[in-house]
Amino acid sequence: MATKEFKAESKKLLDMMIHSIYSQKEIFLREIISNSSDAMDKIYYRALTDDKLDFEKDNYSIEITPDKDKRTLTISDTGIGMTEEELEANLGTIAQSGSLKFKTENESKDNHDIIGQFGVGFYSSFMVADKVTVISKALDSDQAYKWESEGADGYTITPVEKNSVGTDIILELKEDTEDEKYSEYLEEYRLRQIIKKYSDFIRYPIKMEVTESRPKKDNEKEFEEVKEVQTINSMVPIWRKNKSELKDEDYENFYMEKHYGFDKPLRYINIQADGMVRYHAILYIPESIPFDYYSKEYEKGLELYSNGVMIMEKCADLLPDYFSFVKGMVDSEDLSLNISREILQQDKQLKLIAKNIDHKIRKELEKLLKEDREKYETFYKAFGRQLKYGVYSDYGQHKDDLQNLLMFYSSKEKKMVTLDEYVSRMPEEQKYIYYAVGESNEKIDKLPQTELVADKGYEMLYFTEDIDEFAIKMLIKYKEKDFKSVSSSDLGIEDDKDKKQDEAEEKANKGLFDKMKDVLTDKVKGVRASKRLKSYPVCFATEGEVSIEMEKVLNQMPNNENVKADKILEINTNHNVFKSLKAAFDLNDQPKVDLYTNLLYNQALLIEGLPVQDPVAFSNSICELMG
């Protein structure tokens, strides 16, 4: 029979598919197996309305047969088969899918659905094969037909003999090159790997002859290799089972089988949604952080299945960045797929699933916090930073959703507390939620800025991560209570009597403070008497939106080297150092005023963990003071 040409658009599309659409050649096997599953589903549908036809599921299977000598890979099924006209229609015109047409004519029942919505999946076989042969015998037909093609040049259809109903697809693999080893698709271990990865949950058995090593019958110390046909896929996915059938170990085993992590999951979520969009999901909250979590190599995302067939290994669109640590899978019946199952349309269904998953994860974390504080703190130690990023990112769009999940170390409780717990303990007269920022809890304990707040008996939250203050600045307030840094120029603690005393003191020392400001030039915005210091001689206060800790963080970023906080040098007027400084000023001893001023400024820098600009001059000043 003469070779028939593909239509012009089909030639172009085939060429595009082979060279660009599929990113991984191994998925050709997934596509062919999915089509075989479709073919058996069609018999099931026919049996629903045809009393003469019985559907016994045990009679239906897919068989994989590699032949290294002939360099062929054969995929056989016992499905509905194709007539000559169907071979012409389904394989002669790319993107003409019998499955898609069939799906529109039949309602899904008893978990049977048609996977292959587009006929182009079959043509992925040309990525690995020089020649593809399809031998098919349709149900209710006495004649079988063979479809053959070597690619875009065309195809032939001829009558052949075939004893049983179904389809055999024979791939004559390409020769190996330096870049591609097509022989791997004849290796038993590689075929098993691909089937388990993409087609493990196809509901019909996928069978293949495998080699097993077993003890000999007459001598158990010696082993022999035995070949036997085994079912490679598990067929029934965990998410399709009733929740009541599953135990904790089932979820843990699935977690390990799918290589979601080497740890044990802290929590799992089983979702079976049947509303505006139908889907099943198994989600896991890991116990420990992956080693590459904050590297460029880490990819967030959930495995995405369409009716049990994996179509994406990492679907990033299903998870917001602040929940990027969540592992698991989603299987949906409603996703719209375009020309390749690898490429998803950004459709309404996917966005609905993502929104629902976001809500479910958040509620599960809130439940964990309430029911098992120790486990939640384990989780928070690993991933709390990511939640804070979620509060800060997207201009605070998600802050209301995430604020109840945040935790910080408490100066009073000496442990991690939530914002709700902090606010519930606030005295009636306390106006603000106070926080202090530093490298560690131990260093914050020693900060001079904490003295007044601690003296009042108010609880402070300790911020020790660089993201903490940025997140809180975005949060602004919690339950109508504003956040206030202990380094803020106005702590909102003083009463009217204190304010009058401070004003009198400020007035009495105005000349000295002005002189100190002149000595320090533009290094500080001002110098004033401290309202907060009890035992320390000096500290910085800040005004404006940028704190000293934020200054440190921002200056570590590329192209952000000149960010400065508005610093106020606060002096403890009750300290002996100030008395010496005041005496020098009263005696008009300008060199000593300069010396004390610079020493106090550098001392404030060191307290904040900021670099002294001229260490040599600083050490000389100390020596001069000691002399």
List the beta strands (DSSP E) in 90-177. 129-137, 144-149, 155-160, 166-173
- State the Cα–Cα distance between residues 358 and 312, nearest whole angstrom: 19
Q: How many CA atoms lie within 13 A of 143 on its CB side?
A: 9
For the record, the structure tokens of 327 come out as 């592992």
**Cβ–Cβ contacts within 10 Å for residue 130, how many?**
14
- Report the alpha-carbon distance of residue 569 to residue 515 in Å, rounded: 13
How long, in residues, is the chain?
A: 627
The residues pairing with 410 across neighbouring beta strands, listed in sequence order, are 461
Spatial distance between the Cα atoms of 346 and 331, rounded to a whole number of angstroms:
16
What are the angstrom distances between the C-alpha of 220 and each of 212, 227, 228? 15, 18, 19
Write the burial class of residue 495 (CB in 10 Å: 0-12 exposed, 13-18 middle, 19+ buried).
exposed
| E strand or H helix at 570 | strand 566-571
Annotated binding residues for ATP, written as ranges, equal 31, 35, 77, 82, 90, 97-98, 117-122, 167, 341
Could you tell me which residues are annotated as the binding site? Answer: 31, 35, 77, 82, 90, 97-98, 117-122, 167, 341
Per-residue DSSP letter, 21: I
Where does residue 481 rank: exposed (0-12), middle (13-18), buried (19+ CB within 10 A)?
middle
Q: Give the pair of three-digit tokens for residue 104.
A: 């529109």
CB 18: neighbour CB atoms within 10 A? 18
Q: CA-to-CA distance for 251 and 272, rounded, in angstroms?
A: 15
Give the DSSP per-residue string, 340-355. Answer: STTSB---HHHHHHHH
Q: Identify the three-state secondary structure at position 595.
A: helix
Q: 567: which residues sit within 8 A by CB, 6+ positions away?
A: 523, 524, 525, 540, 541, 542, 548, 604
Q: Is the dihedral of CA 235, 239, 240, 246 positive or negative?
A: positive
Least Cα distance to 341 among 34, 61, 87 occurs for 34
Contacts of 585 by beta carbon, 8 Å cutoff, 6+ apart:
511, 512, 515, 593
| DSSP 8-state assignment for residue 613 | S
Please state, as a whole number, how many other Cβ atoms lie within 10 Å of the Cβ of residue 89. Answer: 16
Rounded to whole angstroms, the maximal C-alpha distance in the chain is: 119
Q: What are phi and psi of 485, to 5 degrees?
A: -75, 145
Degrees to nearest 5, angle at CA 308 with 302 and 311: 50
